[in-house]
Amino acid sequence: MILFRTLALAVTLQQPALLPDSTVRAFLLPRVASFPDTGKHGTGIVVGLLDATGTRRIIAAGADSASVFEIGSITKVFTTSLLQDMVDRGEVRLGDAVSQSLPTSVKVPARGDRVITLLDLATQSSGLPRMPSNFTPRDSMNPYADYSVQQMYTFLSGYQLTRDPGADYEYSNLGMGLLGHALSLKGRASYEDLLRRRILTPLGLRETAITLTPAMRAKLAPGHDAEGRVVPNWDLPTLAGAGALRSTVNDMLTFIAANLDSAATPLSPMLRRTHGERHATNNPSLKMGLGWHILARPVGNIVWHNGGTGGYRSFAAFDPVRRLGVVVLSNFDASVDDIGFHLLDETFPLRPVPKRRLEVAVDSSVLMRYVGEYELAPTFHVVVTREAARLFVQATGQPRFPIFAESDSTFFLRVVDAQITFSRDGMTLHQNGQNSPGRKIREN
């Protein structure tokens, strides 16, 4: 079954140097031109390239090359870098139970004698779900802002694990947010202060922060949703370690360089220890380091992480064999992963530029016919909801996305190149040249 967000993991035996600026710009410009244009603020993509000599290049399309972006879940590899730093200092051990860093009143779930360790959290294998069940945002435009530490403690104390910690990979924002919180308690400082002292300042990352300085705020690229509207920035006070950082391409290239070169900074040997394979995933070619995903290739590995918030997408990766690095930041809610992978390996296909589609108005009575739940496969359902004059779709295990009408029965997504056709008793998802029919199993 094709999901809304797909990723082809092709490999190559030989790969030339990073592409020239003109080639990169040639595929960035059509991508940016396909973004919906509200005419108020610019949307764009900034790419950073780092070659084996340490030379860096920055190519921008539609955005200033010095812009500040939310980097979302790339924050997670900063959290695990902080973890490794604290391990190296003897302050914690990877095998420590996370409960050792939390108040005794918090009952962290366990199964038998298997407890959740710091390593389990760092390798996305804790057994905790992607998000806690008591995550009910008051403001969907800034969903993490009101989730409190006490709510997290309440969830942990009442949750029952469905499998042993460390058994299986399951990506969890809650787990990495908990790791950042536990480390801040151990370090007796806020997550941001601890990260600044231990990682950001030593690496010279002056434009990477949670709290924007006046200079960073002046360079902030406003985030845009899939309709091209400016959306609020996200705040993650409790789960900061999962996705709260903002940064620039230049700072991110500095971070990548420190990860690539063991002699680049005093922190580089520590950072390299986060790249070692530590846990399997549900993809035999993909392993987990500490926070980093490690994709196996015949000539080496691609070490990577991506991110996304309400109005931004990000990707950071490097090839430790060829010592090449790539950063891609965008202030539009559409994946840039394909760009990042393609820049490191041209056999990773670029996503076709979406056709410019025009939205038409559809009567609300027609929209209501389509609200409900559709089964496209036993384990893959799509729920259609309505808010005012807009329909939204949410596939199993994925975020909710708006869809836009081309006619009374055909709709399209802007976040990816996919379309949906509704019939009297079902829908068909059209994506990547495949048509996946589904029957309606529940009305609104």
- 323-351 confidence digits (pLDDT tens): 999 999 999 999 999 999 999 998 899 98
b/e burial code for range 257-273 (CB count within 10 A of at least 16 → b):
bbbbbeebbebbebbbe
Answer whether residue 13 shows pLDDT above 60.
no
Mean pLDDT of the region 204-233: 95
What is the band of 7 on the pLDDT scale with cuts at 50, 70, 90?
A: very low
pLDDT at site 144: 97
Q: CA nearest 27: which of 276, 245, 380, 340?
A: 340
Q: CA nearest 114: which of 95, 142, 136?
A: 95
Mean pLDDT of the region 17-45: 87
Answer whether residue 63 shows pLDDT above 90.
yes
Q: What residues have CB less than 8 Å from 22, skipping those under 6 apart?
A: none
At 151, the amino acid letter reads: Q
Residue 135 is encoded by which pair of tokens? 């995550």
Answer whether residue 226 shows pLDDT above 90.
no
Least confident stretch, 71-85, 206-220, 292-306: 292-306
Q: 83 near 204, Cβ under 8 Å? A: no
pLDDT at site 40: 62
* Distance of alpha carbon 20 from alpha carbon 48, whole angstroms: 12
pLDDT at site 39: 58
Answer whether residue 15 shows pLDDT above 60.
no
pLDDT at site 357: 80
Residue 321 is encoded by which pair of tokens? 């064999």
Q: CA nearest 129: which of 89, 101, 163?
A: 163
pLDDT at site 359: 87
Three-state secondary structure call for residue 403 = strand
pLDDT in tens, 267-283: 999 999 999 999 999 99
What is the sign, positive or negative, of the torsion defined by CA atoms of 280, 282, 287, 290?
negative
pTM score of the predicted model: 0.83
Q: 436 near 428, Cβ under 8 Å? A: yes
Answer whether residue 411 shows pLDDT above 70.
yes
pLDDT in tens, 357-405: 888 999 999 999 999 999 999 989 999 999 988 999 999 888 888 999 9
pLDDT at site 16: 55
pLDDT at site 38: 61
Residue with more model confidence, 291 or 425: 291
pLDDT at site 3: 37
pLDDT at site 103: 97
pLDDT at site 354: 72
